[in-house]
Amino acid sequence: MFARLKNAAVAKPVSVDDGLRLLDKQDDRRDRGGPAQPMLIVRDLKKHFEIGGGALLRGQKTAVRAVDGVSFEVAKGETLGIVGESGCGKSTTARLLMHLIEPDSGSLIFDGDEVAGVRGISVRDLRLHMQMVFQDSYASLNPRLTIADSIAFGPAVAGMARTQARHRALSLLRMVGLEPGTFAQRYPHELSGGQRQRVNIARALAMGPRLLILDESVSALDKSVEAQVLNLLRQLKRELGLTYLFISHDLNVVQYVSDRVLVMYLGQVVESGPVDAIYGGARHPYTAALLASRPSMDPRRRVTQPPLSGDPPNPIDPPSGCRFRTRCPRAQERCAQEVPLLMPSPDVEGHMAACHFPLTQSRMPRVATPRITTPHASAAA
């Protein structure tokens, strides 16, 4: 089903000049906390959306627990993948990190500085360090602005001279594999989906961020174009020393790009660890079910019964104890009474699972790094 991603055709980006690595050489966006300091620390992040009660609830207000106590860290230079079913809270978490949605509680520390804290950095400053690429490449761009103007808009608002911002936009277009002479004066509707997503990546890089949040950024693309964009992201990470938070429902893509993986279910983290440990020896039954549900041409991995049955419970009224127990084949009485905590694996450092009865080993054979078949092309798609 897959051929190697590294063979995918990608228009070779131009190396970034020194002026594009940061907005200014004199700014303070370099590594201040040192290599051991995580780029991002998230602690007990919560967001409950209140909804009005209807006739059945007799007017009582209730809340959807979209994100309910999420904690994790992102090391400098790594790619952390976040996976889970639709509605598990992945995208809401991303928007909370960018403060596009205000969290109800929790803390966010960027390179040692608390965000919106008394002695920390402001949300405005955070967005100079951290940018986001969204799933819908068309809706993310202003249809009335040319491609060059869209990319130059952020730096210009931040105080960069208009001429310099324009030069930055043209350089970034080359860096993502789009020739400025062809694309700079075009409008979003004149570009393909893959080309628009390259523009969105360039626009995110225009502020000189250190961390990129990629929320389903390749899920709407054809497989051939997806492979090209993934290779571009890997190349940009190497050239610019970026850190990625990569959100996707495609487990094969997450396995290919990630160093570590975070698994979410119903607003909570149920497992996290190195990518090889998660894919080769999942300890949480939910993670194992997700991996088993991947389509495969390997007859040894085919199953006659669905690995995961039923729908997730209502996030307004989640089950007591373990939230996965209503769908878990290993559930016991304790699962309904006690909330499982993330506990470390005895075998792999950094591998943690929130399960009272974790799997001792994966029931699936170890899976090699995924491959994607793409046609060779001379121009960026």
Amino acid at 302: R
Residue carrying the six token digits 């929320």: 215
Does residue 155 fall inside a structural domain? no
What is the percent of the chain with per-residue pLDDT over 90, rounded to a whole number? 66
Q: Is 225 domain-assigned?
A: yes
Domain tally, the chain: 1
User: Structure tokens of 2?
Assistant: 């897959």
Chain length of the chain = 381
- Which range (7-21, 35-49, 160-174) has the least confidence? 7-21
Whether 243 is covered by a domain: the verdict is: yes
Whether residue 365 lies inside any domain: the answer is: yes
CA 8 to chain centre: 22
Q: Look up residue 59 and give its DSSP letter.
A: T
Instruction: Show Cβ contacts of residue 280 under 8 Å, excluding neighbours closer than 6 positions.
Output: 362, 366, 367
Place of tokens 């190349």: 235
In a domain, 163, yes or no: no
Higher-pLDDT residue of 313, 73: 73
The structure's pTM equals 0.85
* CATH (domain of 281): 3.40.50.300
- Note whether residue 361 is domain-resident: yes
pLDDT digits (tens, 9 = 90+) for 296-311: 777 776 666 667 777 8
- Give the tokens for residue 215: 């929320």
For residue 279, is it within any domain?
yes
Percent with pLDDT over 70 in the chain: 82
For the chain, helix, strand, coil in percent to 5 are 30, 20, 50
Q: Is the pLDDT at 12 greater than 50, yes or no?
A: no
Rounded to a whole number, what is the distance in angstroms from the first to the last CA of the chain?
21
The reply to whether 193 falls in a domain is no
List, for residues 158-186, the tens digit of each pLDDT value. Answer: 889 999 999 999 999 999 999 999 999 99
pLDDT of residue 34: 75
Q: Show the beta-strand stretches assigned E in 155-236.
A: 211-215
Copy the structure tokens of residue 56. 């059945």
Structural domain range at position 244 = 1-27+38-142+207-381
CA 224 to chain centre: 20
What tens digit of pLDDT does each residue of 74-114 get?
Answer: 999 999 999 999 889 999 999 999 999 999 999 999 999 99
